[in-house]
Homo-oligomer: A and B are copies of this chain.
């Protein structure tokens, strides 16, 4: 007996009839609003080339580290799931990888991956029975057939998803060639880049040297001198703005910033590029560069995003065999109050600057982030991130930030995903959770219903457009 797959229209709303009724009303207001995706990791080449994807496993399983990390945690082999190693993709039949996934689909009960995948299955592919061992082949075949049709090519789905704007993320040393091809193609989908210079800032990254060489090549600047290095950043920021970018992004291990004198900064940079640096130097340089980036944002108007606190590649064995982004990044305790102060001493009171803070450490929501954003004109709070981009995580974000920072120091939702097909599902979950939160405030007479309607629009489209200048 197979089980039905049903997306209940009231999913993620409170079961309390009063709250549920209000949540329905609010959701009706914004359910069909366009998708604005100001931060994510889809591949711009998809939209430049508009080629069909191959099959269910290589589209939905192999690239999604949220999904295969859970399967791996329960003892499944990454090879059997078809996950690429450093030596290349294993010789695994996609259908057998998909069957393995289907057999273990119950592992995702209670997780957001389950909500997103069921949404993809039901809404995008039209399935009405649940994924399980017995339906694995049916799923694999039907998804494969669909992907071969024009309606499932990247640009068609982009339109079907009602995406108003989609930001990708590229390194400072990226040519932006895919973005140029999108523009040259005449297609009118708005896919924009985001400037992420970590690769040319983090000297502890294994690819720092070639990244810096590439930066030199792309800009013609002497990137081995402090002045030339800063000039190269300015040039590339302009290149990114030409590719539609309105924002930068910074994914350092900590939120440490610094405020060195020009002489100190130059001397530090000389150690960094000279190879004569300590780990303390490396951290200090990353810290100083956040302040430099904030200064440049004051010049050129780009919004700055700071995503600190991930211990990358925690699993030494897996990193050796499979490389980065294999589900082994683990959040760390993160501080903001001391660490951001040097940068805030420089730019904190500038209302024309926008710095969006993210965290993987929820203990900072009420203690540090909401008080900081509820005071400094330049600071805003990014939405619940990564492990916390989930119904409970988003609820905690609202419960722990709203009373101090309000709604207006937040910036709407980020899907932050490589999984293009999950974008509508992720935005839908966020909209539902926000409506459920607002409905509780209304039901408890802490907010008028007309205010909640106004806020539902702000949380869906208003704040994100304003914060990211879209």
CB distance from A458 to the nearest CB of B (A): 10
CA A402 to CA B113, docked complex, whole Å: 12
CB distance from A396 to the nearest CB of B (A): 8
Interface string of A426-444 (1 = CB under 8 A from B): 0000000000000011011
> Does A341 contact B368, Cβ atoms closer than 8 Å?
no
> Does A367 contact B374, Cβ atoms closer than 8 Å?
no
| Known contacts A109-B455, A446-B110, A447-B110; A392/B388 CB under 8 A | no
> Does B367 contact A333, Cβ atoms closer than 8 Å?
yes
> Does B73 contact A110, Cβ atoms closer than 8 Å?
no
A314 contact set on B, CB distance < 8 A: 337, 341, 344, 372, 375
A446 contact set on B, CB distance < 8 A: 11-12, 110, 115, 391
> Does A367 contact B363, Cβ atoms closer than 8 Å?
yes
Q: Is A2 an interface residue (CB 8 A)?
A: no
CA A311 to CA B335, docked complex, whole Å: 13
CB distance from A404 to the nearest CB of B (A): 5
Q: Is A72 an interface residue (CB 8 A)?
A: yes
| Known contacts A337-B314, A375-B72; A402/B111 CB under 8 A | yes
CA A264 to CA B395, docked complex, whole Å: 48
> Does B399 contact A12, Cβ atoms closer than 8 Å?
no
> Does A315 contact B337, Cβ atoms closer than 8 Å?
no
Q: Is A3 an interface residue (CB 8 A)?
A: yes
CA A135 to CA B388, docked complex, whole Å: 41
| Interchain residue pairs A-B with the least CB separation, the first 10 | A75-B351, A15-B443, A8-B445, A11-B445, A390-B403, A110-B402, A15-B18, A363-B363, A331-B367, A316-B345
Can you identify 22 A-B contacts, CB atoms within 8 angstroms?
A8-B445, A13-B444, A70-B374, A72-B375, A73-B373, A73-B409, A109-B447, A110-B446, A111-B403, A115-B446, A314-B372, A315-B349, A317-B345, A317-B349, A330-B372, A331-B371, A332-B338, A332-B368, A333-B368, A361-B367, A362-B363, A362-B366
